[in-house]
Structure 1
């Protein structure tokens, strides 16, 4: 697998941007610019007012509380499943085991090989479950926003991936060997290094972690805006629009439910893409050639 084979990571984001722009444009036309009409969601959705401990380093807003709820729920689920584990698994245990096997077989072993996968499977599995838990909060009632929709948490996951593949490369080759294989690709004429080495430096040490974080956040942001737009549009068409436009509430409500299902898919997809790219970067770091 090559690290540029990431079309699946980009497609959901592009699709949502197009749909978001189209629906927002239609609603603004329907509203006619009236001050009391429809108000489209904005980036302010992701920076709500502080709820607890305002003015301190421990200030908590809605997004932070959602993250705490997601982390607590994930830990509790894992503890309960582990303590109640049986030879014949129940539904919860079977679901957790299936996801763990999926990461081990379809990510770690598929990309890194069985021998090397043993070392990195625990980390990749932890990343997958954590990202999935924080992503999926965007479709839960009373939470309604992904914990990864602000850059801090995606950046933290990206730093973990970054440190892991750098450390793996240094462990396998030593500092000099890692830098040589990363910045001076073998089989290239020496004069090409003037061009390739700065590109490799930028890619290995900046672009990889940056794109991991931005890709994850961007998809969660777009998904939240789409859901808010659809359901607020339903309220607008049903309660505020003229009689001729009320029928559109059925369309926007149906689109909202459809996008909810789509967001569940995207939440899982982005968790998968994050861990598989992390595995690819680890493989590139420890392999002799890339």
Structure 2
């Protein structure tokens, strides 16, 4: 929780510093923020929902993307050294937000009966098969989508954290406590730690993108008439 609070304060501070004196001709900081906002709006939300349908939801998915990105990057920041998304609480909260949103949007747009019929009853399927398919579709709608959103994010960030810990603890142990013949292996584990750090930065961005994209796709399922 301390890491999450620190990341939140630092991220809000950086955003404020970048845009507190917004200009028509942007500064470098303002340009970076605008590029990030445009990436989420155009490449994720509008690309999936369409320009007009995307408008009410751009803010939500922008918050989700940058929250996850900032929390993920905490895993490679010295003195923080753990991603705020490597524990279930925050990913579960974000997944619950997405879950409630796509259910509410679907019901409001189509009505409860029509929405759940479209989600749970595949068209053209013989009725005896519905005995098997309806529970499967219900499991996917109410459990699998939100749970896998959260678990995928947690698992990836936790795995990266464990790999970094193993490499740098191994480096520390080999250099300081091992026999002379084993000390050169410390350079190998140190190099591996640096490489994994770079890979973790890539994974941090990728997981923010995947979580946000899947969330938009699930919302799109609720907006469409049939699936």
- Per the normalisation by structure 1, the TM-score is 0.76
C-alpha separation in 1, matches of 2:133 and 2:63: 34
CA displacement at 1:102 relative to structure 2 = 0.7
CA displacement at 1:114 relative to structure 2 = 1.1
CA displacement at 1:120 relative to structure 2 = 1.0
C-alpha separation in 2, matches of 1:115 and 1:200: 29
Q: Does the CA contact (< 8 Å) of 2:40 and 2:61 recur in 1?
A: yes
Asked whether 1:219 is paired with 2:152, we answer no
Counterpart for residue 206 of structure 2: 269
Greater share of helix residues, 1 or 2? 2
Aligned counterparts, 1:221-240, within 5 A: 221-240=158-177
Q: 1:251 aligns with which of 180, 184, 188?
A: 188
Q: Does the CA contact (< 8 Å) of 2:44 and 2:216 recur in 1?
A: yes
Q: Does the CA contact (< 8 Å) of 2:19 and 2:29 recur in 1?
A: no
Asked whether 1:129 is paired with 2:63, we answer no
CA displacement at 1:229 relative to structure 2 = 0.5
C-alpha separation in 2, matches of 1:119 and 1:186: 30
CA displacement at 1:164 relative to structure 2 = 1.1
Asked whether 1:118 is paired with 2:55, we answer yes
What is the root-mean-square deviation in Å for CA atoms of aligned residues? 1.0
Aligned counterparts, 1:99-118, within 5 A: 99-118=36-55
Asked whether 1:279 is paired with 2:201, we answer no
C-alpha separation in 1, matches of 2:10 and 2:177: 38
CA displacement at 1:190 relative to structure 2 = 2.2
Q: 2:179 aligns with which of 242, 260, 271?
A: 242
Q: 1:92 aligns with which of 1, 26, 29?
A: 29
Counterpart for residue 77 of structure 1: 14
- Partner deviation per Cα, 1:243-263 (whole Å, 9 max, x = no partner): 111111111111111111111
Point out 4+ residue stretches in structure 1 off by more than 4 angstroms: none
| SS of 1:144 mapped into structure 2 | coil
Aligned counterparts, 1:57-206, within 5 A: 64-206=1-143
C-alpha separation in 1, matches of 2:72 and 2:220: 26
- Partner deviation per Cα, 1:122-176 (whole Å, 9 max, x = no partner): 1111100111111110000010001111111110010111111111111211111
Count residues in correspondence.
227
